[in-house]
Chain A
């Protein structure tokens, strides 16, 4: 194994790790605020990739109808709940957030689907279209169960994953797609190693978003509210923070991260309707290393998984997946010793 091979594998691992990092941050965010291990975020990433690919091949992506249908259903569900609770005066507000806002990118998507438009507009509309998916999935499936145990939320999240992967097969078909690279070309490193610009872009985006995350949680009111909800749901509620609103913000951010993952990864690999699951699963290993709580450790863990995967695919490609998922075992053993120091959620549930 010569030095340049090590370098290439390292860069490949870092760019894959960057993807897992973004997905892993979404996992930790949603879990800490809502206690849901949001498995469908991988599917959302795949949908973003397939949507962009459909726009690029001048076809109407099936995700438009999916988002529109979910928006209508979520709006109905929200309206029924509001009327039942006697807060009908908030109806216009609910209709605006659950139906009007998600439908705007649907209409924009229909308008540009068959047109020659700049790539950046396609990416923007794809982002806008995918962004509400997490919130809508939450409203339709997980919100009514928000106070159930972590296990039930987990099982429902898995069920939702299978449901929307099945819908993905119907609306996108079984064939894989690749999108045009956002950045073309290569950068040369000393020693004759070339790095595709797309991989550099993946790493830069991950780095920048990590920074934004850091600032958002450290400085902004919304970020602080999310942190408060994460550390003590009841306490946050007493302080006037609405858990539902915090959850919606968490899902919105997680969907945004998933959409970025999908858009970044689609030019370097072939994406299928069900590709997201594997990405999500590997990112979740990174999040588990971070104890589903710590953003910096999740970031380090995700990058570690990326590099491990890249190295394993070189050394023993047949055993690659086994090597990656084996990492979970020592991590869980280590975590089970460390857990007593962390805030215990079971106690909080009893309260």
Chain B
């Protein structure tokens, strides 16, 4: 074999090429992040930000990677929010947006950059819960308030610097359970992800069903990449529940509903806010027709009664969104970004009276104003936060919607 001699150099070349590709990919991300940073004057200038200049908000979302299907709407929401209002208490607001590429490590690095190099007053982020938890740790360390747009509940000191916009799972599940109770349902089957989200939905179900006199008949689990859930569906089927709740999210969330309908299950389907996206409806097709899910009012804001306080906010939001991203319509995720902005504006209005932006005192005042926010109306509901708890939603941030002819219709 005459080419034996070339094996080693060849090999070395190919493997190092692969390494370099990986490295370049990471490098490209870092460069992109740096480029995004440098669009704003960083370094000494920003460190020594004049005390009476602008308020600076850091925004982190996932514009690439697997979480980007949520991350992109989050970004659209914040763009609309900035167009909606970029002044507070006579000061202008500057937004610096960074991509975390669906990677919690990059999310944490970005948070640190925003705080140390751009001296931001508050951070809004990010699309995934693991990334949000990573940011919360950095925020606590640097005493920077975090408005969390993913459904995350950081504990301890990070929790003291965080408020979370999305509705907690138990609140949303309780809405679906109340609807079941009215309909005279006695038993409910459950199949969810084999991950923390699946646990969260199941626990919420176990919490709210006993009071309603409803029995949970099954706790089946599946993975996003499963090729078949027939076994689990049969087991759910065998327990003969009146209705069924799926604990998945996005398109993988459609799998249990499809398998049950295929096996001839006739009961009503319920779902969580996590399945409300256009791709779910497409994949679910006829099987998910008539499905009832709880979600934030912004998803069906046009159908809300005029007396609903969130309707006016959502209309403002829709208008701003249309102006900034013409082909986008408001959805739950862009709504969370918008509400984060609304809460930030309300808090900044208070904090700015006593402290100048860019100072630790201002960040502390902003944190206190955020965690004590009262009756702030957003597109997802009316927020009331209190120190020691991340969630600030009540029943006003929950509506029930039904999937009719591939459209979500408000039912209560």
Contacts and interface: CB of A to CB of B under 8 A. Distances in A.
- A, B from the same assembly: yes
A138 interface: no
A313 B69 contact: no
Nearest to B68: A174
A323 B115 CA distance: 47
Interface stretch (A4-12, A122-130, A212-220, A248-256): A4-12
Given A152-B11, A194-B264, A314-B232, A269 B283 contact: no
A9 to B, nearest CB: 6
B251 A169 contact: no
Given A5-B234, A163-B21, A318-B194, A16 B222 contact: no
B230 A313 contact: yes
Contacts of B264: 194
A321 to B, nearest CB: 7
A196 B254 CA distance: 18
Contact of A317 (B10, B220, B254): B220
Interface string B248-288: 00111011000000111000000000000001000101000
Contact of A173 (B69, B230, B254, B262): B69
B229 interface: yes
A147 interface: yes
B21 A148 contact: no
A178 B284 CA distance: 9
Contacts of B226: 269, 278, 313
A176 B252 contact: yes
Interface in A227-285: 265, 268-270, 272, 274-275, 277-279
Interface in B205-262: 220-232, 234-235, 238, 250-252, 254-255, 262
A279 B227 contact: yes
B279 A176 contact: yes
Interface residues of B, number: 44
A159 B240 CA distance: 46
B39 interface: no
A184 interface: no
Given A8-B234, A145-B14, A148-B7, A268 B228 contact: yes
A203 to B, nearest CB: 14
Contacts of A9: 230-231, 234
A342 interface: no
B231 A311 contact: yes
A310 interface: yes
Contacts of A5: 234, 238
Given A12-B228, A169-B66, 11 more contacts: A16-B228, A152-B11, A166-B25, A176-B252, A270-B254, A278-B223, A313-B226, A313-B230, A313-B232, A317-B220, A317-B222
Interface of A: 5, 8-9, 12, 15-16, 19, 141, 144-145, 147-148, 152, 156, 159, 163, 166, 169, 173-178, 194, 196, 265, 268-270, 272, 274-275, 277-279, 309-315, 317-318, 320-321
The 10 residue pairs across chains A and B that have the minimum distance between CB atoms: A313-B231, A314-B231, A176-B251, A12-B230, A278-B225, A175-B279, A269-B227, A317-B221, A317-B232, A317-B220
